[in-house]
A and B are shown apart, each in its own frame.
Chain A
Amino acid sequence: MIPTSFDYKKANSVEEALSMLGDDTQILGGGHSLIPALKLRLNSPGTLVDISKISSIKEISDGGDSIAIGGGATHASIANDKSLDQYCPMMGQAAREIGDIQVRNVGTIGGSIAHADPAADWPAILLAADARIVVQNKNGSREIAADQFFKGFFETALEEGEIITAIHIPKSQKNSNSCYVKFKQPASRFAIVGVAAAVEMDGSVVKSARLGLTGVGEFAYRATAIENALTGKPLNETTINEVVQNATENTNVMSDHFASEKYRAHLANVYLKRALRKLG
């Protein structure tokens, strides 16, 4: 398990990191996906630019109408953040289920979403949370809505030379009534199906909902038809059974030796129902 040789540069600031990026460079965050890929020689960049020591992107702070999570914040820091538990409980629920303690202590949310593993937890949650992803390049920064960020199989809206500096989680009614449920692949403990649900109620009926699914298709997606069907209905067992019929509509469902396409599609419905029941 020896990677090809590479140069290593440690950045102390985002600006320094950006200046180090160039041809044949790769950003190193927590390294939990990148290092195994290097060791298996699936990836062999000439230079690693380590952004994991940049303190300015590791913080979780109150941004007024949103919680701002640094791109370099670890899963553990999200798991332990009280304000997220208050404003967006699905964040902590997901963080506490990622990998094991060692992974959570080093792995970062920015690294995870940049990698965009189709079975990673964060994409589903950021979709459901209506998160905004802040990225920076040498010329400045821009915000990308989660809906526009995840584009395909290990594919995102990130462009060359951009670093994820922050993820903004709105302090919305929906996010304060949210949850994440996950059926784990037993070996990797990534999601075979992960469902993030955020539901805003108007009295006893659903005002609006955002439902993110990961692990199912080639990239995380929202079950928009079901979101729409929920709106205006009471969140009870009858509604849930009536509305959650085909959570994989318009999705190219994946198949592997842990879960066939048919079984995965079934699980997507089961777990979507379970998520909604937790909020009902």
Chain B
Amino acid sequence: MTKYIGKSVKRLEDKRFLTGQGKYTDDIKLVNMAYAYILRSPYANATINNIDISEAKAQPGVAAIYTGADIPESIAGVPCGWQVNFKNGDIMKEPPHPLLVRKKVRHVGDGVVMIVADSRAIAKDASELIDIDYDIHDAVTDPKKAAEPGAPLVHEELPSNVCFDWELGNPKDEVAAALASAAHVTELDFTNQRVVPNAMEPRSAIGHYDTAYDRYTLHTSTQNPHLTRLLMCAFVLGIPEHKVRVVGPDVGGGFGSKIFHYTEEALVTYFSKILGRPIKWTADRSEAFLTDAHGRDHVTNAKMGFDANGKIVALQAYTYANMGAYLSTFAPAVPTYLHGTLLQGLYTTPKINVDVTATFTHTNAVDAYRGAGRPEATYLLERLLDLAALEMKVDPAELRFKNFIPAFDGVTQPGYQTQVALQYDSGNYEPVLKRALEMVGYEAFRQEQANQTNGKLLGIGFSTYIEACGIAPSAVVGALGARAGLFESAQVTVQPTGKVSVYTGSHSHGQGHETTFAQVVADKLGIPIEDVEIIHGDSDRVAFGMGTYGSRSLAVGGSAIVKSLEKVLEKGAKIAAHLLEASADDLEYNDGKWTVKGTDKSVAFGDVSLTAYVPHNYPEGIEPGLDFSSFYDPTNFTYPFGAHIAIVEIDKETGAIKLKRFIAVDDVGNVINPMIVDGQIHGGLAQGIGQALHEGAMYDEDGQLINGSYMDYCMPRADDFPSFEIDRTVTPCPHNPLGVKGAGEAGTIGSTPAVVNAVIDALWKGGHEVKDIKMPMTPERVWNAMQD
């Protein structure tokens, strides 16, 4: 009965994308629409003495100019959606993030004035006539320096720049004792640098107020239309939710950065009513660099202890996490519950403690970025393991085999309880590494490495990762500080003719849901995939949704669809039984029809659906219609895992790194569409390897982003990569109906440390026993490491 599931069905949405017919927010033009340009602070920390808009306001075509003074005091700003408490129980510091700054700007790019005009060009020209008088102050950009006494304060009303401190795991003294008794301790100081998400489509938002219906519409490039509506209505503007429609049409990539509710969305919505015209704002690329929530930016010290047999005995990690100037929607969750909770990794480490200090700095906000916390945790663990192997002169693969958690299926065997709160659902870790070693040809590679004579340095790096996806059980995340549930909804409407419309709260912005979800529906109902339509991204069409991030769509959103499909089939069976004059228990459903077992009497899905809507000959006590909604709240996270291996070659004369091979064996549970999963893995690898080799946002001491363009910020390109060698194992998720775990972030999470480890390995083989090369590992950084 799986005509579609497990098959590489070509993406149904690609026709419109490849022919330029995708409809993105900026493609939408409304009657009488005006265009907004936001004048932003050029300084990281400055007091505004005066804003003179008089000349700009007088320009022809300028409709209105708004400053913070035009926004009522009751609108404090955009909220944070996750609360983390200090160790002492105090609530985290949560200063307001105003829609437009009134008095003090706190990062380069902070919005100060919104100019609205008949065209984008007029608005931009007018912005140059606005005179803002600033007093400029010192800035702090480094998360660790921000915590030091005397650091310039980001929010002067707070006693320090510390947003919260937090700790998880075993008591520190127990971890310290275990480390003290260890035969070997590996210690590493490193930075997981700041990266810019760089979605291909910049953010865009159109606010429109309809006086006839007293109703707002916000079109916005978002991963999360319903949550945006909830946050904006209930926590920012105080507009009744039923009076607002939020549409996230086609969205050109997000990587996390479009989960969050941004100031511009509230600005165009609020001022569209005041102006009496729709207002569109679209970020240009420079604004995207400055204001799309960034990712990572951790400064970490970590120690891992081993006994004489190479078994890990303890892990202690201290991290400073940069929040930026304001708390973005999910920022506090990233270094805590999405990072600290993953420090068990795939290993049986008996004592783990993680201590995190989150600080405000004069930089753009940092929040979830593809992987969100799990890449940071994986980087920490996997760097320590490969470094420990070098220091102890043992094989890094062997070291992992020695420490893997034994296999458990989560059905006949219980899940694995970690030292850091989570319980893994199912896992079988040895096979992924074994397969990866096989693909590499490990022994032959080590021979080649030992015998190398071409003046280059060969290195191999490992990363065996776990991640928590399928975010997440609402009660669990609620207890951890989430201010929202993390279930998903799905409505399955069977039309009278047997065609099926599915309304999902998941949101596709590159993932291919219109294909994958349709595969599931078509197979479960035994109907052609062409008979299925997937609808998403519109709060007027989809009743509720929690959006797409954390590799949750299929595991959570797909499960909600399955629940509704089960209800459709259950009711359909009752109707079919009536038509067949049989008992529902005697029917079986196959190939799109109900058959009386052991007979050739059957009724097709389309006949049942028609009967449901034309109920002339109809069972008593059954409602007409064939339409079901479901909400699915998962019982656990899902835990994909995998083994990544990088092989690099270093040019000794220049330090240039060539990534020669990259092998990834991932276990993402059951796979609905192998081609789409492969694509997700490839893209994730490119992004993770990109962080290791190329990407990195650089703020100078004054808080200026000095590489805010593609001339200076290096995005990885296809010719930077070898052809990826990928494979899979399948360990089904035991707690959702499809047995799926999630594949959107795996490539990003696993790959980064593998590449860095490979470079370190190569350097050690060349006699340069360095512990770390800062990411991105530019040729000069590698070359410097060889000048000892």
Contacts and interface: CB of A to CB of B under 8 A. Distances in A.
A257 B783 contact: no
A4 B125 CA distance: 7
Interface stretch (A67-75, A212-220, A227-235, A259-267): A259-267
B121 A263 contact: no
Contact of A1 (B286, B694, B706, B711): B286
Interface in B676-724: 694, 698, 706-707, 710-715
- Most chain B Cβ neighbours within 10 Å, of A1, A186, A188, A266: A186
Contacts of B284: 1-2
B783 A263 contact: yes
Contacts of B698: 257
A260 B121 contact: no
A255 to B, nearest CB: 11
Nearest to A4: B125
A97 to B, nearest CB: 11
A77 to B, nearest CB: 22
B62 to A, nearest CB: 15
Interface in A9-65: 40-41
A266 B655 CA distance: 11
A152 B128 CA distance: 31
A258 B121 contact: no
A7 to B, nearest CB: 15
B285 A257 contact: no
B653 A263 contact: no
B710 A187 contact: yes
Contacts of A5: 121, 125
Interface in B294-322: none
A7 B124 CA distance: 18
Given A257-B698, A270-B653, A187 B715 contact: yes
B60 to A, nearest CB: 13
Contacts of B184: none
- Most chain A Cβ neighbours within 10 Å, of B120, B711, B780, B783: B780
B654 interface: yes
Given A2-B124, A186-B694, A257-B698, A270 B654 contact: yes
Nearest to A186: B714
A41 B128 CA distance: 11
A263 B712 contact: no
B714 A257 contact: no
Contacts of A263: 780, 783-784
B713 A187 contact: yes
Given A2-B120, A186-B694, A270-B654, A258 B778 contact: yes
Contacts of A260: 780
A258 B120 contact: no
Contacts of A186: 694, 714, 778
Nearest to A259: B780
Contact of A188 (B120, B656, B712): B712
B711 A187 contact: yes
A280 B712 CA distance: 35
A258 to B, nearest CB: 6
Nearest to A270: B653
A137 B394 CA distance: 73
Contacts of A187: 694, 707, 710-715
Nearest to A271: B654
B711 A188 contact: yes
A5 B125 CA distance: 9
Interface residues of A, number: 18
A260 B783 CA distance: 12
Contacts of B656: 183
A183 B714 contact: no
Interface string B750-787: 00000000000000000000000000001110011000
Contact of A257 (B120, B653, B706): B706
A4 B713 CA distance: 25
Contacts of B653: 270
Interface string A235-264: 000000000000000000000011110010
B455 to A, nearest CB: 12
B190 to A, nearest CB: 19
B780 A2 contact: no
Contacts of A2: 120-121, 124, 284
Nearest to B781: A263
Contacts of A183: 654, 656, 779
Contacts of A270: 653-654
Contacts of B654: 183, 267, 270
B710 to A, nearest CB: 6
Contacts of B783: 263, 266
Interface in A155-199: 183, 186-188
Contacts of A188: 710-712
Interface in B118-144: 120-121, 124-125, 128
A260 B121 CA distance: 39
Nearest to A264: B780
Contacts of B780: 258-260, 263
A40 B710 CA distance: 13
B663 to A, nearest CB: 24
Nearest to A189: B717
Contacts of B710: 187-188
A257 B285 CA distance: 21
Nearest to A258: B778
A4 B122 CA distance: 9
Nearest to A5: B121
B715 A1 contact: no
Nearest to B707: A257
Nearest to A260: B780
Contacts of A4: 125
A4 B128 CA distance: 10
A179 B707 CA distance: 32
A258 B714 CA distance: 10
Interface in B346-375: none
Contacts of B714: 186-187
B749 to A, nearest CB: 23
Interface in B76-130: 120-121, 124-125, 128
Contacts of A41: 128
Interface in B166-182: none
- Most chain A Cβ neighbours within 10 Å, of B284, B654, B706, B784: B654
Given A188-B711, A270-B654, A1 B285 contact: yes
Nearest to B716: A186
A270 B654 CA distance: 8
A186 B780 CA distance: 12
Contacts of A259: 780
Contacts of B779: 183
Nearest to B283: A1
Contacts of B121: 2, 5
A130 to B, nearest CB: 29
Nearest to A190: B711
Interface string B486-526: 00000000000000000000000000000000000000000
A267 B780 CA distance: 10
A187 B696 CA distance: 11
A65 B410 CA distance: 80
A41 B779 CA distance: 32
A41 B698 CA distance: 23
B357 to A, nearest CB: 28
Interface of B: 120-121, 124-125, 128, 284-286, 653-654, 656, 694, 698, 706-707, 710-715, 778-780, 783-784
Given A183-B656, A267-B654, 15 more contacts: A1-B284, A1-B286, A2-B124, A4-B125, A40-B286, A41-B128, A187-B694, A187-B707, A188-B710, A257-B698, A260-B780, A263-B780, A263-B783, A270-B653, A270-B654
17 contacts: A1-B285, A2-B121, A2-B284, A5-B121, A40-B286, A186-B714, A186-B778, A187-B694, A187-B707, A187-B711, A187-B712, A187-B713, A188-B710, A188-B711, A257-B712, A258-B778, A263-B780
In the A-B complex, the 6 residue pairs with the smallest Cβ-Cβ separation, listed nearest first, are: A187-B714, A1-B284, A186-B714, A188-B711, A263-B780, A2-B124
